[in-house]
């Protein structure tokens, strides 16, 4: 089962049909279209793929103009990379956004730099800029885990998951986040992550492209005003996103995780919204998801500034489908025939592909492997193919020194 096929089998995409009833939608209270439409004008052009490093964001931060932005250094990562705290706006409502606590989750970091560009421009969206800058006091920590970003890995260089360090605080990066949160006592917090691209939005054959969570501050999952406001705001953000990615918005399981930052920051009194960018077809570098993060975060800030989130009911949050983990694969061959011990039988074959980093983690190639075999009628593929009348066989690599194939050349491929 773990043996891989070095070349993808011929693939045809098929359109997945929707099933199940869409939850009712609340009314729309902010207009996201101008932000969505104009995003290419604000898009930070030096960040073009999901793999970028601290050294690429340092010059972008250095050129943020004062007095619009106030930039502070708030400490260093374990390997000595500077972590920045960027402030803008002079309003009474304090908002803190931090991104890339997991080093390989960079979608929102790109969106934050697009937001910095947006705030510097002057165009027909000036009323929105003025609203945000006069009503809000906005604080950003982009790329909280620069050492992880250096290697495009989740954990920091101590091999610790910073998002399980909110209590012990043995990571310098976790200490920084705690210190900044406590110094601000922010009313609102945005915890910006990426999630597996294999999650589905409920039982729909659609990936969970954006998932939300209003983390629980206790095991009873109680709802006080702090958490309730986060739920209301998520209901509003979902309403906005449904225009662009219908039925691809989900929510994370809200089991209380006592070690996680989101759960604790909610407990410490900041209304906390977790945003997870997942998978979207034909968006391997997450550039459309970056655009949706840009739209989603700015309209959320608009909703906070205008207090329209309070018009949304918890039930709209509860109506969001849960993330269905492991529902998706990159490719599924439906009802194909394989042979074992001289007998032929019908199976579905699923494949996933891992990114194998090259060139100091800046680039990657894909390595595909069989991820599941059997009746996969409850799973979905980004691409699906029904190879009628044919049987799959392992691809053959002619390059003896190929690092992908070295181990498989001498063995006989089986679908197990």
Interface residues with Zn ion (CB under 5 A) are 102, 105, 193
Minimum CB separation of residue 194 from Zn ion in Å reads 6
Q: By C-beta, is 52 or 380 nearer to Zn ion?
A: 52
Q: Catalogue the E-assigned strands of 112-160.
A: 136-141
Minimum CB separation of residue 196 from Zn ion in Å reads 10
Q: By C-beta, is 53 or 193 nearer to Zn ion?
A: 193
Of 178, 265, 263, the residue nearest 219 (C-alpha): 263
Determine whether 93 is exposed, middle or buried from the number of CB atoms within 10 Å of its CB (0-12, 13-18, 19+).
middle
Q: By C-beta, is 234 or 370 nearer to Zn ion?
A: 234
Q: By C-beta, is 105 or 147 nearer to Zn ion?
A: 105
Locate 78 and state its tokens: 């374990």
Task: Give dist(CA 188, CA 265) in Å, integer.
Answer: 10
DSSP 86-114: EEE---SEEEEEEE-SSTT--HHHHHHHH
Cβ-contact 340, 325 below 8 angstroms: no
Cβ-contact 178, 101 below 8 angstroms: no
Minimum CB separation of residue 397 from Zn ion in Å reads 35
Q: By C-beta, is 145 or 229 nearer to Zn ion?
A: 145
Burial per residue of 13-23, b for 16 or more beta-carbon CB atoms within 10 angstroms, e otherwise: eeeeeeeeeeb
Task: Give dist(CA 266, CA 200) in Å, integer.
Answer: 26
Minimum CB separation of residue 99 from Zn ion in Å reads 10
Minimum CB separation of residue 105 from Zn ion in Å reads 5
The crossing angle, in degrees rounded to 10, of helices 33-42 and 287-305 is 130
Minimum CB separation of residue 134 from Zn ion in Å reads 32
Residue closest to Zn ion (Cβ)? 193
Per DSSP, 50 falls in state S
Q: By C-beta, is 50 or 193 nearer to Zn ion?
A: 193
Minimum CB separation of residue 163 from Zn ion in Å reads 6
Q: By C-beta, is 39 or 193 nearer to Zn ion?
A: 193
Cβ-contact 56, 142 below 8 angstroms: no
């Amino acid at each position: 089962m773990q043996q891989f096929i070095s070349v993808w089998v011929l693939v045809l995409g098929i359109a997945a049909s929707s099933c199940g009833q869409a939850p009712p939608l609340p009314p729309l209270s902010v207009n996201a279209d101008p932000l969505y439409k104009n995003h290419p004008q604000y898009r930070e052009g030096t960040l073009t793929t999901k793999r970028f490093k601290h050294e690429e964001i340092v010059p972008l931060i250095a050129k943020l103009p004062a007095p619009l932005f106030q930039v502070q250094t708030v400490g260093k990562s374990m390997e000595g990379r500077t972590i920045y705290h960027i402030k803008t706006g002079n309003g009474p409502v304090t908002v803190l956004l931090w991104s890339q606590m997991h080093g390989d989750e960079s979608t929102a970091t790109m969106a934050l730099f697009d937001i910095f560009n947006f705030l510097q421009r002057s165009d027909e969206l000036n009323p929105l800029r003025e609203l945000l800058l006069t009503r809000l006091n906005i604080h950003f920590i982009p790329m909280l885990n620069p050492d992880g970003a250096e290697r495009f890995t989740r954990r920091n260089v101590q091999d610790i998951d910073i998002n399980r360090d909110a209590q012990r605080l043995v990571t310098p990066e976790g200490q920084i986040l705690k210190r900044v949160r406590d110094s601000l006592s922010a009313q609102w917090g945005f915890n910006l992550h990426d999630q597996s691209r294999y999650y589905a939005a409920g039982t729909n054959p659609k990936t969970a492209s954006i998932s939300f969570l209003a983390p629980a501050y206790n095991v009873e999952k109680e709802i006080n005003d702090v958490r309730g406001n986060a739920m209301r705001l998520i209901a509003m953000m979902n309403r906005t996103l449904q225009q662009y990615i219908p039925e691809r918005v989900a929510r994370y399981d809200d089991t209380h995780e006592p070690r996680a930052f989101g759960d604790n920051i909610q407990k410490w009194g900041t209304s906390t919204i977790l945003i997870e960018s997942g998978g979207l077809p034909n968006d391997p570098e997450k550039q459309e998801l970056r655009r949706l993060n840009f739209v989603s975060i700015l309209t959320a800030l608009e909703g906070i500034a205008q207090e329209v989130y309070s018009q949304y009911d918890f039930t709209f949050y509860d109506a969001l489908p849960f993330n269905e983990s492991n529902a998706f694969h990159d490719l599924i061959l439906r009802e194909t025939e394989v042979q074992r011990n001289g007998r032929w039988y019908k199976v579905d074959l699923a494949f996933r592909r891992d990114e194998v980093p090259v060139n100091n983690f800046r680039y990657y190639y894909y390595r595909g492997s069989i991820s599941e075999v059997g009746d996969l009628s409850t799973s979905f593929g980004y691409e699906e193919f029904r190879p009628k009348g044919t049987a799959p066989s392992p691809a053959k690599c002619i390059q003896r020194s190929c690092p992908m194939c070295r181990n498989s050349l001498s063995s006989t491929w089986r679908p197990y």
